[in-house]
Chain A
Amino acid sequence: MQQNAFSSEPIVSLRDVQKSFGPLKVLDGVSFAVDRGEVLAIIGRSGSGKSTALRCIDRFEKVDGGEIVVCGHRVDRPDVNLRALRQDVGIVFQSYNLFPHLTIEQNIALAPCAVKKMATGQAKELARKVLAQVGLEEKLHAYPEQLSGGQQQRAAIARSLAMQPKVMLFDEVTSALDPELTGEVLKVIEQLAADGMTMVMVTHEMGFAKSIADRIVFMHRGKVHETGPASILTSPTTPELIQFVGTGNLKS
């Protein structure tokens, strides 16, 4: 099978990625790789380039230089097949971005029907299944505005899952939620990790990153400043990371 041939290849790899917004250099030679089944957490201050790095993986930002390979797609090339790439990559945003004019079921079934040409009945079955996965079965026919923030975010995760991505990207998915609702979303992500989903997440939840991530990438001024297993959060070596974890709360 194709998967076996690539099993040693990382699912996501960035090499010396450069990106500027005008005169501002946001990514300055960023490199990291994510293996199959691995959970990578990108942490860092606001403006360190962590969200930009994540968005480059799904080509929501075009890079100026360097190489990005995601599930065999050369994302840095202008001729990359975006629709094929985005079938392999699921992305969940800070602001949920559910479609307000559609029910949760329709939100979830939309892409499988439109992109994968799945039959409506089958897509509804799938919607039920992924909603059960995030514990929201009873909200199948609700509209997004009728859900709490945490429920909306779980529905957004379910919507991504329905496309059966090979890797999922989470862009500060709990930043808009209060602590109580954050917990229910993190629990869903934890379950995904336990099921072996490959994930890259930008997060401010240090405790969560420590407990779930196989590897941490600490970004500082557009560079990967320190990287290693989750233990670097408890025993950081660079002064910047020491200061960063010192300001965050590491209770967990």
Chain B
Amino acid sequence: MATLLDVRLKKVNKIYREGDVVAGLVVIQSKDSVQHQGITLTVEGNVGLQLSAKSVGLFEAFYNSLKPIQLLHYNLDIAKPGKLPSGKTEIPFEVPLKPKGNKTLYETYHGVFVNIQYTIKVDMKRSLLNKDLQKQLEFIVEYKEQEEKAKAKVVQFTISPETLQNVKEKVNVPRFKVKGKLDTAVCLITKPFTGELTVESSEAPLKSIELQLVRVETCGCAEGYAKDATEIQNIQIAEGDVCRGISIPIYMVFPRLFTCPTLATNNFKVEFEVNIVIVFQDDRLVTENFPIQLTRF
């Protein structure tokens, strides 16, 4: 059996805050004793930025990918070159979670053009004949509790042909009226996005009403900046020609990893929007956009 290298964290949910101690075990499992040239552990936090082909062109996107911003970097040797006994060896480690220099630890976020990722990497160097072993593990960083709390901001809305902005011939739009409210536009990331809407009238039968969660990522670079909006998820809240005058709940859970508190820095921005999409039976659709602010607390 080959040698197995593994990293395990003490916390099952792998969520840490600034100032926390990331504790865990490096586990080496082997039938025979293992000869190695040292085991090192690297804890890293990076913001990866990429330009979208759409905004800057293919070549530039390829070459000009921006330099990642390092938020955190630790390197420690956890074992000197030597020999490990056969069987299971567990080496505990602890790393304080402190940002590098004057950087801040942003929350973990997996986007398209912006990626904020924290990893623990273990390397086992071995003699020439054996391949080096490596194991990588992602852990999640969340903001620690802050003083300022999000204040609910109720948004009332009405969607009707009149409220549509980018329609040239309003005559072609079937008559309809949808009223509703969002419980807040400043949303806690841990709580679902809620609200309700009522189809008061509609000439044409409806097919579906959907909630679209959109991220807007902005990357700054030498020649200005690139801004891109992409869909994260789409949640259907009504299916078919719903009953008129009945309030339909708006409810969406923010997906983990793919969302983070709204973020604005010098180099990049991550913002979120919600679209309410009303689809008619003839596949015409009407969208209403609501920018929202996500916060952790």
Note whether A and B form a binding pair.
Answer: no
Give chain B's interface residues, CB within 8 Å of chain A.
none
Interface residues of A (CB under 8 A from B): none
